[in-house]
């Protein structure tokens, strides 16, 4: 298990650097995690700058999101655990806090529908730009348990789902590997920015 | 031939890094190729992240676009082959998937006309900003053979052509050397972004 | 004291590089400082490029903002001193000169109100996105003593305050550590850009 | 002289890298020069990529802009010579080809007036944001001698001048040192982008 944790810790540090360079985790926003074993997950320590981490900024929690090493995990650990529980094959979850996702989440009501983009094929089992990918937008909530419940209820009747937005608060996406999760982040960022521009209601 | 392949493989890896840093190949989008010999072409392996490649991510296909090394080339290999067949002097083809090209391709109908830009002189045989450069926009199509045929038919009656857009899907451009092809990418990206802004219909 | 000065000088140089890479201190704009001791402050020398400094570009002033080493500190040293005097725990002050802050400061009249952003939690004692953070905008003034007085008068009746804008001239923010001050810079930059876009009156 | 040429050649290469990283010399656009001696100037060789130069891409011309080493200087060498002749203290001239300058030059008629920006103080002898800096816009012309003459005529009656725009073609600015010229580039880029956004007629 330790070797697995060390590998993921290094990958999460590197992923933080990549996403910071892309402008997607300003200040200390964002959080990332990985499934290390059945009851052990690597996750970013609360309040750290995600672009300038070392492996000391990655800690361990169990499947209930409780600290296994006396440090405090991200306040949003519960959202990660909901995803791991629902999707047994998911091994990495990334929550960037990008400007375009933030703005788009304040422009739309309940969901964004992404269509006619070749880049949709970056997501699993989508093999044509004609696919219509729905991305739900949840209202922000400091009560994470309550928010996780809403996400869970949505997933009961709306799969497949590859990510979601929280209003004024970035987005969540995931994958079976670090590479897949990062691919989904880059694809969503591109598509959210396109969508924001297509709507024309917001400028920059 | 091998030495030529190695040289191009290294150049394609480096080009991928440059274009990723410019934000032009998000997720695993984009694909690149080079003419190694009469019946041998170097091309990116399907599904690889173009900003983080090694030479292992570059493979060989013949003039029919068939794999020479048992790996799967980009789904769009047929578009590359159409260009190599038509233009014997072209040695490098680059297909970036930039946000501005994607948005512009969804704003215009059949073609973009670029005029009154000094940067037009970055293309072969254009020596004044007064030139009017036409760039066709083709509808996206997952049937690559059919799309390649449309491109070919367009070229029958519309040369010279230095690149084209696919709707919601970035652009293709090429050159006699890697340097020339990269110059055309940078020039098109600049001009497409200008054009998008000049139209004012899209913001951000 | 010297060891403390050296540490801060190195941190200010590194901070300059970070903020320049983020596009926030173009030309020779911006200035930064740190509290070294009760009557000694490290501050950027006047007119230096903040993205390409060495520790030689950091000098010492006393609590009145007077040079302790015969070099000329930034013209805006008085604004730094006002902040240090009012907030005894503040150890670092950063004044970036970003494009989005500049534009926003020309769009609004007297204050910007930031609300419904998760990133508000980057500031001290804010634990919900429902907080409404007021950021005053002061008219630019080449008479720094007079401007410092206006800022001081505003603070008399408007705490807590985490930063302010000067019209056409970037923003000031601060923190108890370099890490905190940088976090506030990144958070304000994100929020100012969001706000500028939400207003839609300015584009690009 | 040789030592002076070598120093400037290295600085011009480094300046090219900086401006390319800022997105200001796409494709092979832009050109740079420095006064090496009374009748010797260092200037970029025609057609080179300004972000990936070595000192081999810098050549020598005399005060008439004629090659001193059998290589072909930038097509716009005549514009550089006009500036050196008029301003004996100017030692460095930079011509970036930025997107924002290009777009702004197509939006305005004869001149841009920059006012109420603190960053105006980046230019010589401007000590307040209340200054109104005029920047003329000249129509693009492939006849460089004719264009240089127009610039010269404008300068006869409109000093001080710190730079000018060519329509659809970026801007020229200069300084007594490389550091000053680069400062003017960064200041103009910021101000042109602000101005473009303030006008709102163009979006991105």
Tens of pLDDT, residues C71-122: 999 989 999 999 999 999 999 999 999 999 999 999 999 999 999 999 999 9
Q: Left if phi > 0, otherwise alpha if psi is -120 to 50, otherwise beta: which for D138? A: beta
Question: Which residues on D lie below 8 Å from C103 (Cβ)?
Answer: 194, 197-198
Share of chain A residues as helix, strand and coil, in percent rounded to the nearest 5: 40, 20, 40
Interface membership of C137 toward D (CB under 8 Å):
no
The sign of the CA dihedral A144, A145, A146, A151 is positive
Q: Which of A189, A197, A204 sits opposite B103 (nearest CB)?
A: A197
* Listed residue (C109, C107, C108, C101) closest to C187, CA to CA: C101
Of the candidates B94, B76, B75, which has an alpha carbon nearest to the alpha carbon of residue B163? B94
Question: Count of A–C CB contacts within 8 Å?
Answer: 64
Q: Per the CB < 8 Å rule, is C118 touching A169?
A: yes
pLDDT for D159: 80
CA distance A128 to chain C (A): 31
Number of helices and strands in chain A (H, E): 5, 8
CB C89 within 8 A of CB C13: no
In this structure, what token pair is assigned to residue D8? 């400037």
pLDDT mean over A8-22: 97
What pLDDT is recorded for position C159? 80
Give the per-residue pLDDT at B2: 76
Instruction: Grade residue D3 by pLDDT with cuts at 50, 70 and 90.
Output: confident
Taking residues D187-199, report their average pLDDT: 94
Please give the Cα distance from D134 to D146 (Å, whole number): 22
- Cis status of the peptide bond prior to B160, with omega within 30 of 0: yes
DSSP secondary structure string for all residues of A45-61 = BTT--TTS--GGGEEEE
D51 falls within a domain = yes
Distance to chain D for C56, nearest Cα, Å: 17
Chains that touch B (3 or more CB pairs under 8 A): A, C, D
> Which residues of chain B are under the pLDDT cut of 50?
201-204
What ipTM was predicted for this assembly? 0.95
CB C112 within 8 A of CB C192: yes
CB atoms within 10 A of CB A52: 15
Confidence of residue A1 (pLDDT cuts 50, 70, 90): low
Element (H, E) at D106: helix D99-107
CA B139, CA B164: separation in Å to the nearest integer?
A: 11
- pLDDT 10s digits, D109-124: 999 999 999 999 999 9
> What is the spatial distance between Cα A42 and Cα A25, in angstroms, rounded to a whole number?
18
pLDDT of residue C1: 56
CB proximity under 8 Å: D 45-84 to B = 49
**Distances in whole angstroms, Cα of residue D176 to Cα of each of C124, D40, D84, D179:** 46, 16, 11, 8
Q: Is D23 helix (H, G, I), strand (E, B) or coil?
A: coil
Tell me if B75 sits within 8 A of B46, measured CB to CB: yes
Measured CA to CA, the distance from residue C152 to residue C83 in angstroms comes to 8
Strand order in the sheet with B31-37: B58-61, B40-44, B31-37, B92-95, B171-175, B163-166, B132-138, B111-115
Q: What is the dihedral of CA A37, A40, A44, A45, to 10 degrees?
A: -160
Instruction: Take residue D97 and report the two structure tokens written for it.
Output: 């080809």
- Length of chain B as a residue count: 204
Provide the domain count of chain A: 1
| 8 A C-beta contact, residue B139 and residue B149 | no
Those chains having 3 or more beta-carbon pairs within 8 angstroms of chain D are B, C
Residues D18 and D10: their CA atoms lie apart, in Å, by 13
Give the chain C residue nearest B193 (alpha carbons). Answer: C204
B27–chain D Cβ distance below 8 A for any pair:
no
Residues linked to residue D159 through DSSP beta bridges, in sequence order: none
Hey, what's the torsion of the CAs at D39, D42, D45, D48, to 10 degrees?
-160
Interface check C189 vs A, CB under 8 A: yes
Instruction: Determine contact, residues A32/A14, Cβ cutoff 8 Å.
Output: no
The candidate with the shortest Cα–Cα distance to D137, out of D110, D107, D172, is D110
Cα nearest neighbour of D119 on chain C: C29
Given this model, what pLDDT does residue D98 score? 94
Q: CB-based contacts of C107: which residues, under 8 Å, 6+ apart?
A: C196, C199, C201, C202
User: What is the least distance, in Å, from the CA of D3 to any CA of chain B?
Assistant: 31
Chain D residues with CB inside 8 Å of B107's CB? none
Which pLDDT band, with edges at 50, 70 and 90, does D202 fall under?
very low
Asked whether the whole model's pTM tops 0.90, one would answer yes
Please report residues of D whose CB lies closer than 8 A to that of B128: 142
Q: Do B97 and A119 touch (CB under 8 A)?
A: yes
Judged by DSSP in three states, D67 sits in strand
DSSP H or E run through D171: strand D171-175
Within a 10 A sphere around the Cβ of A9, how many other Cβ atoms?
22
Q: 3-class DSSP state for residue D192? A: helix
Whether residues C122 and A27 touch (CB distance < 8 A) is answered with yes
Beta bridge partners of C41: C35, C61
**Quick check: helix, strand or coil at residue D102?**
helix
Residue D82 lies in a domain: yes
Tell me which chains share at least 3 CB pairs under 8 Å with chain A: B, C
DSSP line for A41-109: EEEEBTT--TTS--GGGEEEE-TT--BSSSSPBPTTHHHHHHHHHH-TT--EEEE---HHHHHHHHH-S
Partner-chain contact C117 A99, CB within 8 Å: no
Domain membership of residue A204 (yes or no) is: no
Q: Which residues of chain C are within 8 Å of residue B203 when distances are taken between CB atoms?
A: 203
Domain-embedded: residue A90: yes
So what's the pLDDT on residue C14? Answer: 98
B201 contact residues in A (CB cutoff 8 A): 200
Residues A124-162 have pLDDT tens digits of: 999 999 999 999 999 999 999 999 999 999 999 998 999
Name the token pair of D49.
Answer: 């990529």
In a domain, C189, yes or no: yes
Token couple for A36: 């290390």
Q: Phi then psi for B154, rounded to 5 degrees?
A: -60, -45
Interface touch D166/B197, C-beta < 8 Å: no
| Residue C71, token pair as written in the block | 């070099």
CB contact under 8 A, D196 and C202: no
Residue D204 has pLDDT above 50, yes or no: no
Taking the CA of residue D67 and the nearest CA in chain C, the distance in Å comes to 33
Determine, for residues A140 and C129 on separate chains, whether the beta-carbon distance falls below 8 Å. yes
Q: Given an 8 Å threshold on Cβ–Cβ distance, is D190 in contact with C99?
A: yes
pLDDT digits (tens, 9 = 90+) for C38-60: 999 999 999 999 999 999 999 99
Average pLDDT on D3-12 reads 94
Residues 98-117 of B with CB under 8 A from A: 99, 102-103, 106
CATH of the domain at D12: 3.40.225.10
Q: Does residue C204 lie in a domain region?
A: no
pLDDT in tens, D13-29: 999 999 999 999 999 99
Phi, psi angle pair for B35, to nearest 5°: -85, 115
Q: What is the pLDDT of residue C204?
A: 36
For an interface test with C, the pick among A57, A96, A102 (most C C-beta atoms closer than 10 Å) comes out as A102
pLDDT score at C203? 43
Measured between CA atoms, how close is D145 to chain C, in angstroms? 31
Work out how many CB contacts closer than 8 A connect B with C.
3
pLDDT in the model for residue B201: 46
State the nearest Cα–Cα gap between D126 and chain C, in angstroms: 12
Helix H or strand E encompassing C194:
helix C178-199
Residue-level pLDDT at B159: 80
Q: How confident is the model at residue C202 (pLDDT cuts 50, 70, 90)?
A: very low
pLDDT tens track for C130-166 = 999 999 999 999 999 999 999 999 999 998 999 999 9
Task: Quote the minimal CA–CA distance from C42 to chain B in Å.
Answer: 35
Q: What is the pLDDT of residue A201?
A: 46
What is the reported pLDDT for D203? Answer: 42
Q: Is residue A47 part of a domain?
A: yes
Closest Cβ opposite residue A197 in set B27, B28, B204: B204
> What does the DSSP assignment read for B135-146?
EEEEPP-S-HHH
Q: Is D166's CB within 8 Å of B193's CB?
A: no
**What are φ and ψ of residue A3, in 5° steps?**
-65, -40
Q: Which residues contact C56 (CB under 8 A, 6 or more apart)?
A: none
Sign of CA dihedral B15, B97, A27, C44: positive
Which of D122, D128, D129 is the closest to C28 by Cβ? D122
For residue A44, what are its two tokens? 């970013």
Measured in angstroms, the CA of A4 and the nearest CA of chain C are apart by 31
Query: Over 60: is that where the pLDDT of D181 sits?
Result: yes
Q: How far is A177 from chain C (nearest CA, A)?
A: 28
Q: Is residue D173 part of a domain?
A: yes
Domain span holding position C173: 3-198
Contacts of D204 in chain C (CB under 8 A): 203-204
Say how far apart CA D188 and CA D101 lie, in whole Å: 9
């Amino acid at each position: 298990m330790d070797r697995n944790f060390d590998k993921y810790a290094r990958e999460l540090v590197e992923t933080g650097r990549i996403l910071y360079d892309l402008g997607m985790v300003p200040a200390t926003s964002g959080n990332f995690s990985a499934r290390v074993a059945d009851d052990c997950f690597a996750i970013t320590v609360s309040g750290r700058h995600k672009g300038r981490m070392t492996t000391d900024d990655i800690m361990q929690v169990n499947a209930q999101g409780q600290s296994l090493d006396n440090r405090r995990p991200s306040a949003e650990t519960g959202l990660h655990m909901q995803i791991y529980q629902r999707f047994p094959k998911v091994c990495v979850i990334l929550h960037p806090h990008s400007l375009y996702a933030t703005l788009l989440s304040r422009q739309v009501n309940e969901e964004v529908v992404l269509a006619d983009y070749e880049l949709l094929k970056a997501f699993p089992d989508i093999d044509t730009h004609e696919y219509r990918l729905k991305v739900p937008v949840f209202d922000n909530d400091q009560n994470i348990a309550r928010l996780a419940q809403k996400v869970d209820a949505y997933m009961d009747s709306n799969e497949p789902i590859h990510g979601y937005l929280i209003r004024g608060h970035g987005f969540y996406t995931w994958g079976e590997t670090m590479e897949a999760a990062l691919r989904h982040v880059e694809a969503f960022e591109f598509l959210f920015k396109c969508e924001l521009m297509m709507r024309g209601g917001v400028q920059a």
